[in-house]
Amino acid sequence: MKHFSASTPMFFNPRLHPRAWLLACGCLILTYIVATLTGGFTLSPAKRLTSQKDLLNDVFNATLGFQKILVIGLPSRTDRRDSMSLAAAFSGLQVEYVDGVTQVDNKTLPPGGVERGIDGGSLFAWRAHMNALRLIVEQNLTSALVLEDDIDWDIRIKAQMKEFARAARLLVQPLPHTREQYLDPTYPSPSADQGYQSFDVNEHATSDPTDSPYGDISRWDLLWLGHCGCRFPLASDLNVPLGRAVIANDDTVPEHQHLDMEYGNDELLRQYPPHTRVVSRARVNTCSLAYAISQPGARRFLYELGVHKMSDPNDIMFRYVCDGVDDRQLATCLTFQPQLFQHHRPVGAKAGFSDIADHGDGFNDRAFTRNVRWSVRLNFANLVSGSANYTDSFPDGGRKVHFPDG
């Protein structure tokens, strides 16, 4: 039999009447609640630090730190779903498909849609993206990553996204122990005579976010992670900060001779050394291949593109909202140069590259993905066999790789 000493606290004394037990426990619980509400109980600094670090490590979960990963594509393109499911499985990711559409009634278009005469393929893409945004709003997801079904990425995507999260924080989070003081002196918008500053992710820090690895959900709308080219913001834009968060010595970035800036410019190549990736406010030219969007962002983009007005194809309207032009409310958008997600072009008829655009009648005899070194899709054979001898599409020191059109 276990004995209790005279110094045993009253609420641990087994000889107490049951009512006394209930009274003692009730007092303890009430004391805890009052203390918590008034700040009487706080985590130790060590425990707070652990919690903050764990939030950054959420990028290593099955949804890259977002609540869901949504993949847009036609159910009839079983080839793309097969490849996407394999790529996700080999990357430790969990995806959910959002069906593409092949019919849009003109009566459902926002104001201006009929007058603009946008082609059918662009309308189908617009509606599919609106369906994804509506799902995010309806399910009240805190955030989601939206991918098109022909997208490819590096085998090291989770490590890349961790670095992106560190970089994004430098641009959207306030400085430590402050509420509205920022690392970037051009925040919230620059004057005409201000220039940009670059901030190395290893040399600067901001306050830690509380609900997302990439910065507080209330502080960003869209993270444009896959596109067809962009530029850095300019002081002449007059409406967005100019700061750049720099990830140097990133060996997942191809050397300059291999990078295809597509519809963007070559400023990244001229101003930064090889193996550098830079995060800034988004000034994307075209293509909404892959983007993460917060709940506030999903509501804003669904309103702007699905309700307010239709002026152009989907990706151009995304750009207008991120730029705050075309009578659109400015959103907080960040992007990567070079991008993390890219179109994959498999071996086969070029006509299969897209269901909304014409890529001709030719045949592509070599699969490729621009700007991605250890492509998941190009390494399927290695991954299936368990080999870690991955194919590097852009080895250092090699000659510029030329791709077929498309």
Q: According to the model, what pLDDT value does residue 353 have?
A: 62
What pLDDT is stored for residue 400 in this prediction? 84
Yes or no: say if 366 and 378 are a contact pair by the CB < 8 Å rule. Answer: no
What are the residue boundaries of the structural domains of the chain, listed by start?
Answer: 54-343
Mean pLDDT across the chain, nearest whole number? 87
pLDDT at 348: 83
* Share above pLDDT 90 across residues of the chain, in percent, rounded to a whole number: 78
Report the range of poorest mean pLDDT among 4-8, 98-102, 140-144, 351-355: 4-8
pLDDT in tens, 267-317: 999 999 999 999 999 999 989 899 999 999 999 999 999 999 999 999 999
pLDDT band at residue 5 under the 50/70/90 scheme = very low
d(CA 133, CA 324): 19
The answer to which of 43-57, 187-201, 340-354, 356-370 has the lowest mean pLDDT is 43-57
Q: In the prediction, which pLDDT does 46 show?
A: 33
Rounded average pLDDT over 128-136: 98
Q: What percent of the chain has pLDDT over 70?
A: 83
Using the predicted structure, report yes or no on whether residue 54 has a pLDDT greater than 80.
no
SS3 per residue for the chain: CCCCCCCCCHHHCCCCCHHHHHHHHHHHHHHHHHHHHCCCCCCCHHHHHHHHHHHHHHHHCCCCCCCEEEEEECCCCHHHHHHHHHHHHHCCCCCEEEECCCCCCHHHCCCCHHHHCCCHHHHHHHHHHHHHHHHHHHCCCCEEEEEECCEECECCHHHHHHHHHHHHHHHHCCCCCCCCCCCCCCCCCCCCCCCCCEEECCCCCCCCCCCCCCCCHHHCCEEEEECCCECCCCHHHCCCCCCEEEECCCCCCCCHHHCCCCCCCCHHHHHCCCCCEEEEECCECCCCCEEEEEHHHHHHHHHHHHHHCCCCCHHHHHHHHHHCCCCCCCCCEEEEECCCCEEEECCEEHHHHCCCCCCCCCEECCCEECCCCCECHHHHHHHHHCCCCCCCCCCCCCCCCCCCCC
Examine the pLDDT at 25 and tell me if it is beyond 50. Answer: no
Whether residue 259 has pLDDT greater than 50? yes
Check residue 351 and give its pLDDT: 56
Q: How high is the pLDDT of residue 361?
A: 73
For residue 44, what pLDDT band results from cuts at 50, 70 and 90?
very low
Residue 355: its pLDDT value, please?
63
Q: Residue 29 above 90 pLDDT? A: no
